[in-house]
Structure 1
Amino acid sequence: MKQHAKPQHGPKNSGYILVVDDNRMNRLMLARGLEKQGHQAAFAENGRQALAMLAEQDFDLILLDIEMPEMNGYQVLDHLAANVRWRDLPVIMISAVDEIDSVVRCIELGAEDYLTKPFNPVLLKARVDASLEKKRLRDEQRALFCKFTSDEVAEELLNSGFSLGGRLVEATVLFSDIRSFTTIAESKTPQETIELLNDYFSLMFEAIANEGGVVNQMIGDGLMCIFGAPLPLIDHHQRAVRAARQMIELIRRFNQEQARLNRVQIRIGIGIASGAVVAGCVGTQHRATYTCIGDTVNLAARLETHTKTVGQPILIEENTYLGLNGKIEVAPQGEVQLKGKTRAVKVFSVPVADDRT
């Protein structure tokens, strides 16, 4: 369902508030008070209508009655807690039910606060302002996380909290690197090198994100990404290989534009491996990064390096090949003794439109 942006409204601290109450006079009185405080209000007559509105629009706060037909306030709180999009949306209960058991139940179900009817306008203003401020801080925290990590990792940190360690998952790891980048950098100014890298990473991030991958490391001109963590992906093998092919195609188009502008062209190598990895936050309580570790990670890195030896832009190993289920064409490259591996590895190349890339 398409989601519509909330309307623009008043001062910085104002909010777009959904008032949910089956009593028309209560709705009008609340709206009048909210508008005097600089907020904008929308109305729902019951919980079911409120959920439908939430699916269509973004709100900053909900003022929610308890006793309503079709779906009561308790049921609405259950739905909000079960939905990732809505679980952080602040809710203030407004009800004629003035019983401690009701208050406790609402707070346990996730309500931010509780007011009884008839409500005190001054107290209502204070509770509304406090709830909106908490939401603003949460939104700023989420935006900050997303600047330094992927949306998926940011959501996991916000939902489950930060802790060092990880969990064992089945995933596919992809390493990519610009070939002869040191030579390219020597002929460029630092500003030109940064511009080239920014253009390169923008293209690679697009291809990886299109297939549900998460970029978790950028080291110089290289990057590492994961398919299958923190969010599981059943078809992570196929997604990684499709992303790799998109990366090569985007580089091909990028080089066409570079040639037109008489600028340096680049080639990349990609190594992909699938298997068990430990994914999670690694580091200290003061500085950490979300990553994955294990033999699968090392194997993907070795395969990326081996692309320079065989002159193929994309190399995968046997587990990735088996996970493709014949849906993507590959070419056997035989068994290869990769550095650091005690056993030879079955290697396959993935044909692309223009292998010269």
Structure 2
Amino acid sequence: MAEALGHVLIVDDNKVNRLLLARNVELLGHRAEAAENGKVAMERLRAETFDLVLLDIEMPEMDGFEVLAAIKAAPELRDMPVIVTSSLEGLDNIVRCIELGAEDYLPKPVNQVLLGARLSSSLEKKRLRDEQKRLLDRFATHEVALDLQNSGFAIGGKRLTASVLFCDIRDFTALSEDLPPEATIELLNTYYTLMFDAVSSNGGIVNLMIGDGLMALFGAPQPLENPAQSAVAAAGEMFSMITVLNQEQRAAGAPEIRLGAGIATGEVVAGYAGTDERAAYTCVGKTVNLAARLEAHTKAAGRRILIDRQTRNSLRDPAAAERIQQVAFKGFSEPQDIFAL
């Protein structure tokens, strides 16, 4: 038996209509399930995965207009194609359905040939949208993908408070000189796998990778309750993971990794930079520069993690950060208070 082309939810309060529509849908090669009203339909849509909805309008408890509005308001459902099948007459009703997000409107009784054409067209559009989402999720972080889905794409940025984390492998050039290219790439891939997990599990995004270094952002594009605390927690997980990795490296006679990390908190300008043809989500500002300077200074200070005063003041336990001497960083008019974790 051939695999069903699509999983269709039929929503109609009339049992005969549900049965006939289900039969027609299955004859077209699709899998059909039914819900007797809008309330049941929304419960099913949130609990199961469907490819398309055939929706009646006049129903008890929750009518078709309310279902369309609920689908449009749910981020996880808003791209679900909905074809209205109704005996309601009048251009105003059809327009209202389309405005609420319906893909199409078929009058009852539904013509089998027309139903097949509309199902095929709507399912193909959904397949293309799903493929676009898959590619976006592959080449952008979940948070950036969500921001694009909710807000759309526009070159430019906005001011907000966030925490920026820079991290890199110390003396990576010397380390890689003793490794064949394939082993170097494998080590970097392992390193990035661990670092990405530490960042994402604490609500951050990695928005820049340069060789053995990375830049992570906490508090944008999605807000966080305490970006500084999240950034510090991520840094802690990074070093914990590298400790475990180094145990395996030693056992295999492979070189170990040493890290340095810098974290700064403050105002940044975050958004999409580039052109309409090619752009990336990033942030700029003094906070970014300070985080980079702090990471670079870990070598001179002999510390693993350095943070600025605003990050330290935002921690649940500020006393855990040890104050060290002020440093005059390039690009800053005044010496900066820095703290070590």
Normalising by the residue count of structure 1, what TM-score does the alignment of the two structures yield?
0.93
Q: Write the mapping of 1:252-267 to structure 2, written as runs, cut at 5 A.
A: 252-267=243-258
For the pair 1:58 / 2:49, whether they are aligned, the reply is yes
Query: What is the match of residue 294 of structure 2?
Result: 303
Residue of structure 1 aligned with 2:144, choices 129, 133, 153: 153
- Contact residue 167 and residue 214 of structure 2 kept, 8 A: yes
Q: Distance in 1 between matches of 2:227 and 2:319?
A: 13
Residue of structure 1 aligned with 2:170, choices 179, 201, 204: 179
- Contact residue 227 and residue 240 of structure 1 kept, 8 A: yes
Query: What is the match of residue 227 of structure 2?
Result: 236
- Contact residue 4 and residue 31 of structure 2 kept, 8 A: no
Q: Distance in 1 between matches of 2:147 and 2:50?
A: 22
Query: What is the match of residue 90 of structure 2?
Result: 99
> Runs ≥4 in structure 1, deviation > 6 angstroms?
none
Deviations 1:140-191 (A, max 9, x none): 0011111111011122223333221111111111111000001011111111
Shift of 1:13: 7.7
Q: Distance in 1 between matches of 2:31 and 2:319?
A: 53
Query: What is the match of residue 119 of structure 2?
Result: 128
Query: What is the match of residue 74 of structure 1?
Result: 65
Shift of 1:194: 0.4
* Number of equivalent positions: 341
- Contact residue 312 and residue 318 of structure 2 kept, 8 A: no
Residue of structure 2 aligned with 1:269, choices 260, 278, 289: 260
Query: What is the match of residue 29 of structure 1?
Result: 20
Query: What is the match of residue 354 of structure 1?
Result: none
Q: Distance in 1 between matches of 2:74 and 2:191?
A: 36
Q: Distance in 2 between matches of 1:189 and 1:328?
A: 44
Q: Distance in 1 between matches of 2:114 and 2:2?
A: 20
Change (3 A) 1:31 1:13: closer
Where does structure 1 lack aligned partners over 5 or more consecutive residues?
A: 1-9, 351-357
Letter in 1 for 2:29: G
Residue of structure 2 aligned with 1:139, choices 121, 130, 136: 130
Q: Distance in 2 between matches of 1:117 and 1:222?
A: 61
Q: Distance in 2 between matches of 1:156 and 1:11?
A: 38
Q: Distance in 1 between matches of 2:75 and 2:319?
A: 34
Change (3 A) 1:12 1:163: farther
Identity %: 52
Where does structure 2 lack aligned partners over 5 or more consecutive residues?
A: none
SS of the equivalent of 1:332 reads strand
Deviations 1:92-132 (A, max 9, x none): 11111021100111111111111110010111111111111
Query: What is the match of residue 315 of structure 1?
Result: 306
Q: Distance in 2 between matches of 1:34 and 1:334?
A: 73
Query: What is the match of residue 165 of structure 1?
Result: 156
Query: What is the match of residue 240 of structure 2?
Result: 249
Change (3 A) 1:155 1:336: same
SS of the equivalent of 2:320 reads coil
Normalising by the residue count of structure 2, what TM-score does the alignment of the two structures yield?
0.97
SS of the equivalent of 1:66 reads coil
- Contact residue 230 and residue 279 of structure 1 kept, 8 A: yes
- Contact residue 13 and residue 132 of structure 1 kept, 8 A: no
Across the aligned residues of Structure 1 and Structure 2, the Cα RMSD in angstroms comes to 1.4
Deviations 1:274-308 (A, max 9, x none): 11111111112222111011111111100000111
SS of the equivalent of 2:339 reads strand
319-328 or 301-310, which deviates more: 319-328
